[in-house]
């Protein structure tokens, strides 16, 4: 959602500069607009989200405080008051109901983040031009000028972003608005004022945009998404280690099967999720800076002696982004498809986890810690619903729907470019936001779980038939004829008890030590290497050493 929609500003008189940018009188600047305290725009580059967005809905009211209908007898459902944007009126629940859980993404994935990274790219490009000997018209900047330019990046605020949006109302072009904003800001510095026209030099808008989007993704993934994924993996790994030796009945096809341990089943998810996280880390964030159709056409005409492809690679990699040398007007977004597909698969695995834990809660393997005042059902007081895992699963579905569209659509662009990617790219934060929300819901659910060991044990006591597998396997070893068929006749469709199973074992013609091993076996002890596998999960996935910078 655009900043001008988020923060309603009063109309003020506007003049224009030679760059067609609006300027305001001394007493009409954005910094001096009289806004309620809770709506004042933040002025630091760190984008401290606390307190800038809060839940407040307003509507036209009469003197008694009740909303008036436009005509007598009009239904409330037909009434459309002039609402301000708030957590109650936001169309997207990420910006409303769930804001507190996803606001970490706002500095990177919101309109503010896009504008700030555009400003960064434009300024860094001007600084790069000043370092090229052949571009004599832009001499090397003094320390003072360089500090001034870098200060525009470091001090970029919501006020600044709002100014850019106001310029865009005139230009109807978002990237050009950034260029005019920078020219306006730099007019006051005599050294930079001489080279204002080298802002956006030889650039197409996509040179700026693709790098801004790359930086948005890099910052979001590295600073928000991956840490949240690590929290999920770590929490599930802790479950694996803590419950490594707690035996549990397996259920293949929903039917009793060879026992496992609760910890080992959790270790499987931790390992799978860790593998997908590593795939995300392997994706190279790519950028281009090759002009209108990727050939450096204008660059070469203006300065034919400069090695522009080499210079472009130096510039892109200086931003911490890998360079794509073969492009049309846009960076083709193939890396985005890979990144989003990897996040989708991570999310799919977490859906599998959510559903399994939901099922274990239903079976009684887990109890949930209750919280005073919480209500599970409006009519059934006894209920403690697994809502965190349900919310996680639901949001993972919404996230994957959006990310799937992005990964399928973005690599496709007609000829050298069309504009369908522009509006789609503005929805990156939706897929990432719902993913982040799902991770936090899963973590919240995990924190409430209590293992019901007594119930797990009772479940195993009721299923002595699961020992048919090891018994018939030992019978095969010692040459007992038709072992599978004999156990099938004993167990299939029949009630099996400890006594009946041991009576069968005693009747077997096998060595005494083998017979004793089988007689000592119980559903609780027939877990193979499950406990060891669970205990070793943290070493196996190597959470700490597995990370690298995108």
**Catalytic residue positions, numbered:** 253, 377
Say if strands 322-323 and 449-451 run parallel, antiparallel, or are unpaired. Answer: unpaired
Kindly report the number of other CB atoms within 10 A of residue 218's CB atom: 20
Distance between CA atoms of residues 328 and 294, nearest Å: 5
Distance between CA atoms of residues 479 and 499, nearest Å: 24
Q: Taking Cα atoms as reference points, which of 211, 360, 373 lies closest to residue 286? A: 211
Reduce the DSSP state of residue 38 to 3 states and report it: helix
Name the helix (H) or strand (E) containing 175: helix 174-186
Two tokens, residue 288: 């281009």
List, in sequence order, every beta strand (DSSP E) within 288-429. Answer: 322-323, 366-368
Distance between CA atoms of residues 423 and 144, nearest Å: 39
Distance between CA atoms of residues 339 and 431, nearest Å: 12
Alpha-carbon distance values, 18 to 180, 429, 459 (Å): 10, 36, 80
* Ranges of H-type helices in 81-110: 99-102, 106-109
Under 8 Å CB-to-CB from 11, ≥6 apart: which residues? none
Two tokens, residue 391: 């919310």
**Beta pairing partners, 260:** 248
Report phi then psi at 530, rounded to 5: -55, -45
Under 8 Å CB-to-CB from 530, ≥6 apart: which residues? 244, 259, 260, 261, 263, 264
Alpha-carbon distance values, 533 to 268, 527, 541 (Å): 9, 11, 12
> What is the CA 82 to chain-centroid distance, rounded?
33
Helix 262-282 to helix 334-363 angle (10° resolution) is 170
User: Is 377 within 8 Å of 384 (Cβ atoms)?
Assistant: no
Name the helix (H) or strand (E) containing 222: none
């Amino acid at each position: 959602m655009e900043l001008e929609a988020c923060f309603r500003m009063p109309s003020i008189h506007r003049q224009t500069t030679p760059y067609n940018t609006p300027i305001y009188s001394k007493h009409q600047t954005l910094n001096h607009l009289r806004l309620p305290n809770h709506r004042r725009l933040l002025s630091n580059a760190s984008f401290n989200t606390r307190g800038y967005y809060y839940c407040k809905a307003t509507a036209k009211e009469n003197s008694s405080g009740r909303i008036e209908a436009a005509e007598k007898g009009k239904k409330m459902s037909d009434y459309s008051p002039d609402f301000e944007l708030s957590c109650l009126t936001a169309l997207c629940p990420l910006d409303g109901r769930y804001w507190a859980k996803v606001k970490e993404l706002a500095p990177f994935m919101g309109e503010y983040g896009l504008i700030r990274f555009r400003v960064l790219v434009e300024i860094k490009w001007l600084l790069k031009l000043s370092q090229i000997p052949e571009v004599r018209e832009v001499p090397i900047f003094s320390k003072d000028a360089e500090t001034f330019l870098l200060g525009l990046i470091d001090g970029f605020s919501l006020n600044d972003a709002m100014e850019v949006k106001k310029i865009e109302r005139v230009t109807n072009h978002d990237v050009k608005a950034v260029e005019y904003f920078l020219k306006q800001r730099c007019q006051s510095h005599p050294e930079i004022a001489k080279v204002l026209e080298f802002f956006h030099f030889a650039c197409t808008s996509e040179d700026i945009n693709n790098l801004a989007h790359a930086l948005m993704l890099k910052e979001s993934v590295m600073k928000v998404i991956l840490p949240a994924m690590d929290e999920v993996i770590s929490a599930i790994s802790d479950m694996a280690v803590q419950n490594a030796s707690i035996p549990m009945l397996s259920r293949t096809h929903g039917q009793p099967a060879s026992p496992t341990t609760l910890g080992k089943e959790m270790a499987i998810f931790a390992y799978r999720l860790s593998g997908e996280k590593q795939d995300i880390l392997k994706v190279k964030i790519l950028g281009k800076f090759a002009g209108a159709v990727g050939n450096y056409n204008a660059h070469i005409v203006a300065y034919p002696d400069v090695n522009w492809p080499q210079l472009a690679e130096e510039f892109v990699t200086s931003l911490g982004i890998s360079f794509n040398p073969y492009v049309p007007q846009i960076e083709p977004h193939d890396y985005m498809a890979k990144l989003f597909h990897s996040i989708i698969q991570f999310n799919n695995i977490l859906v599998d986890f959510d559903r399994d834990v939901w099922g274990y809660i239903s079976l009684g393997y887990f109890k949930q810690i209750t919280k005073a005042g919480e209500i599970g059902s409006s009519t059934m007081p006894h209920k403690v619903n697994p809502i965190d895992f349900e919310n996680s699963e639901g949001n993972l579905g919404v996230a994957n729907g959006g990310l799937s569209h992005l990964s399928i659509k973005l690599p496709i662009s007609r000829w050298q470019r069309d504009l369908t990617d522009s509006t789609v790219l503005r929805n990156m934060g939706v897929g990432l936001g719902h993913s982040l929300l799902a991770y936090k819901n899963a973590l919240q659910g995990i924190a409430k779980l209590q293992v019901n060991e007594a119930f797990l044990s009772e479940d195993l006591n009721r299923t002595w038939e699961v020992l048919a597998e090891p018994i018939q396997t030992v019978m095969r070893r010692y040459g007992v004829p038709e072992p599978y068929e004999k156990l099938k006749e004993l167990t299939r469709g029949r009630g099996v008890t400890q006594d009946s199973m041991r009576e069968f074992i005693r009747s077997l013609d096998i060595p005494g030590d083998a017979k004793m091993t089988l007689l000592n076996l119980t559903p609780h002890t027939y877990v193979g290497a499950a406990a060891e596998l669970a205990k070793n999960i943290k070493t196996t996935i190597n959470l700490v050493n597995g990370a690298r910078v995108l």
